[in-house]
Structure 1
Amino acid sequence: MKCVVLITGHYWHSQRKAGFHWLADAFWRKGWEVVFLTAPISWLSVIRRDYRLAYPVIQEANKLLPVQPKLWSYVWFTLWHPANLRWNFLNYLSRGLFQLYSKLPLGIVEAEIRRADVLIFESTPALLLFQRCKNLNPKAQFIYRVSDDLRLLRNHPVVLETEKQIVAQFDLVSVPSRNIYQLFAGLSNLKLDLHGIRKDLFQNNYPNPYPSKDAADTPNLIFVGNSHFDYDFLEQASQLFPNWRFHIIGPIANLPQKPNIITYGELPFLETIPYIKYADIALQIRAYSPGIESLTDSLKVIQYTYCQLPIIAPRYLSSSRPHVFYYQLGDASSIQQALIAAQNYDRSQIATNDIYSWDELVSKWVQILQ
């Protein structure tokens, strides 16, 4: 039986289901043994009140725990990890310490790394483990799944430098957006692989979670996410369209208190699917930050598209998708125009035939590596 180790910033039991969860699931359903290795996480994460601490990551630290047969979770909890200290001087002083991250004891998971057939790295500070894993297992094949632009995540300079040094050494560099593809253009091992989805889950029947509409002009708009939220858009849009309902799923604090803004907090992934399926318009309303352009092809955009939802996004997230309607940040007129255009768009025109499942993506990788 083949074994894959996925080195990711996500925690297996998190309610937030990211691409790496679905990649692990797809490998497992193909009959592979899967080790889901969560890193980095350390006492610095505790100081910064990392959201993963809401789960029992400290209790599970450095234990190889079975999730189900042939699927394991391992939280590599360390004293420290490379983290942006916000001040250039502190980042400079910490370089030497952070470069030692890869030498910290791996514990029992080291044996899993030694016997793995494939190791898949996410774009996190755990990239510093690459050379150590290569030394431990030179026969394994290595994939870099660049789930995020490291600049957007504001990583420590030593992480950015490490990525630059090692990226050409991977057997495959797989990127989920056209914007990130441009960052690595010229690499011979580079592939553009947009996010997949669990088509079977989205095709299931679910009860409609929304209240019955009072009239045809009362659409339900959905946002699902946890970062870079454009508060100003929601403030203005909810005023412009007081009869429209804006549904916000995710740990977004300090939202406007209005009758037509309905908040749910963070929900398990499966509970979010009906809200997406039965919505009328999707919101990809992201405030600007350097590197935000990488979200043009985010997992949520793929899910919204699969459900044939018109999408609202700021102009700096422009793409070639005809069902995305854009506004200028802070401009009420463009917000109004985008929302009206989305409401009037013929959803049946939204193509979904080019969206593939996670199983199809994993099969593609296996074929490339063979």
Structure 2
Amino acid sequence: MKFLFLSTHAFLPATRKTSVHFVAEALVARRHKVDTVSVGMSRLTAWKKPQLVEGAIAAGQKNRFADTAPGYRSAAYLPPLHPFSTSHAWVNRLTALTFPLYGNLLPGFLRQAITDADVVVIESGTAIAFFDAVQRLNPKAAVIYFCRDRLDTVGASAWLQATEQRIAPLCDRVIVPSPRMADHLPKTARVRFIPQGIDKQVFDAATVSPYPPGTLNAVSVGNMLFDRAAIEAMAAARPDITYHLFGAGIPDDFAGNVRVYGERPFPDIVPFIRFADFGIAPYRLGERELYLAQSSLKLQQYSYCLLPILVPRLLEGSRGNLVGYDRPETQDWTLLLDRVLASAHPEGWRDGILTWDEVAERIEAEIPASA
């Protein structure tokens, strides 16, 4: 079977990995052919991320496919301009006019990839704009909506949110990593809950700690809804703990016991998780983001490594190793951090965590027989 993934993420060795990367790789390992196309980028992106666009992508994937592995190709669609979501309502009204053009005026390599696919996987975000072109070019293909985040949570434009509501019932399946993520989707959408997975072998193979012997270390991976105030409060309360932060765009002007690494390749981050004393998920969240308790990839990774995890109080209780904190300015951080460091690390914290191969197998089972 031939899969095509449309995603806003770059598929490169040096960029961070998300669930769409791991699923694509797992399907290749299961002897499917997989193409990935990164969308939502243009020359505008090159101004902000020149090393990514003019460097790594331009070297092999710019508007063409490059072989990643046997049966696995990756490309990046890079037109001169692309529509994007902003916090400015008037800008979003303008981009609403350009999203349909962007999603339907396609280069030849992308049209061919859509035509050749048996299954087209559209990840939540800008890739939604390509749904109509997929149906026009290849009406026989099964279409999977790979819904990873609520669009209102990540600040997607009103046009993308409205289009999601329109296309969700038209997709063959809508795959979500948390049942809560179906709450905002039309009731007629064919939603299936498939949990996140992890690469257990990579974590099991990490045998060398990056931390100096005898030190205390906490790790935070990712920048989504990042709560700077919580990290600052923890660091001030326990200066003997070193806090290691991974994620693009995280400011680096913290106290001396906070180290910011930016975006790093996934294998580089694994030992920092495997050998940490505890994990942190410093989300700024409300009720609508509670799906993160089940969909957050880092919570799965921390749990597999048997780490207690500091989370906002709203998430506490969804897993046995989640330790909730209150608002940063009211929490007794010293007492809470003492509690976290004294936690036991029972094997049961790993219960129910899937491998990516198991996730891919469940996705296979949801593909219509006609694909």
- TM-score normalised by structure 2 residue count: 0.90
Partner of 2:228 in structure 1?
A: 231
Q: CA deviation at 1:345?
A: 2.0
Residues 72 and 46 (structure 1 numbering): CA distance in 2 closer, same or farther, change over 3 Å? same
Matched, 1:46 2:46: yes
Matched, 1:323 2:293: no
Listed as ranges, the matches of 1:88-237 within 5 Å are 88-184=89-185, 186-187=187-188, 189-213=190-214, 219-237=216-234
Moved more, 113-122 or 81-90: 81-90
Residues 113 and 368 (structure 1 numbering): CA distance in 2 closer, same or farther, change over 3 Å? same
Inter-partner Cα distance in structure 1 for 2:182 and 2:168: 13
**2:169–2:186: 8 Å Cα contact kept in structure 1?**
no
- Correspondent of 1:308 among 299, 306, 313: 306
Residues 162 and 25 (structure 1 numbering): CA distance in 2 closer, same or farther, change over 3 Å? same
Residues 235 and 269 (structure 1 numbering): CA distance in 2 closer, same or farther, change over 3 Å? same
Inter-partner Cα distance in structure 2 for 1:172 and 1:51: 36
Number of positions where the alignment pairs a residue of Structure 1 with one of Structure 2: 364
**2:278–2:341: 8 Å Cα contact kept in structure 1?**
yes
Partner of 1:77 in structure 2?
A: 78
Inter-partner Cα distance in structure 2 for 1:334 and 1:166: 46
- Correspondent of 1:265 among 262, 267, 274: 262
Inter-partner Cα distance in structure 2 for 1:274 and 1:26: 22
Matched, 1:34 2:31: no
> CA-to-partner distance for each residue in 1:235-287, whole Å, 9 max, x for gaps?
221221122222222332233131x3233333211111111111111010123
Partner of 2:11 in structure 1?
A: 12
> CA-to-partner distance for each residue in 1:176-226, whole Å, 9 max, x for gaps?
12431333373451112121111121121421111111xxxx532111123
SS of residue in 1 equivalent to 2:166 = helix
Partner of 1:354 in structure 2?
A: 352
Partner of 1:335 in structure 2?
A: 333
Residues 296 and 223 (structure 1 numbering): CA distance in 2 closer, same or farther, change over 3 Å? same
Q: CA deviation at 1:229?
A: 2.3
Moved more, 325-334 or 268-277: 325-334
Q: Residue type of the partner of 1:88?
A: A
SS of residue in 2 equivalent to 1:56 = helix
**2:46–2:54: 8 Å Cα contact kept in structure 1?**
no
SS of residue in 2 equivalent to 1:100 = helix
**1:325–1:339: 8 Å Cα contact kept in structure 2?**
no
Inter-partner Cα distance in structure 2 for 1:359 and 1:52: 29
Inter-partner Cα distance in structure 1 for 2:335 and 2:223: 26
Matched, 1:86 2:87: yes
Inter-partner Cα distance in structure 2 for 1:289 and 1:80: 34
What are structure 1's unaligned runs of at least 5 residues?
A: none
Residues 318 and 184 (structure 1 numbering): CA distance in 2 closer, same or farther, change over 3 Å? farther
Inter-partner Cα distance in structure 2 for 1:254 and 1:97: 36
Partner of 1:282 in structure 2?
A: 279
SS of residue in 1 equivalent to 2:151 = coil
Q: CA deviation at 1:49?
A: 4.5
Q: CA deviation at 1:327?
A: 1.1
**1:58–1:77: 8 Å Cα contact kept in structure 2?**
no
Identity in percent:
27
Moved more, 325-334 or 32-41: 325-334
- TM-score normalised by structure 1 residue count: 0.91
Q: CA deviation at 1:318?
A: 4.1
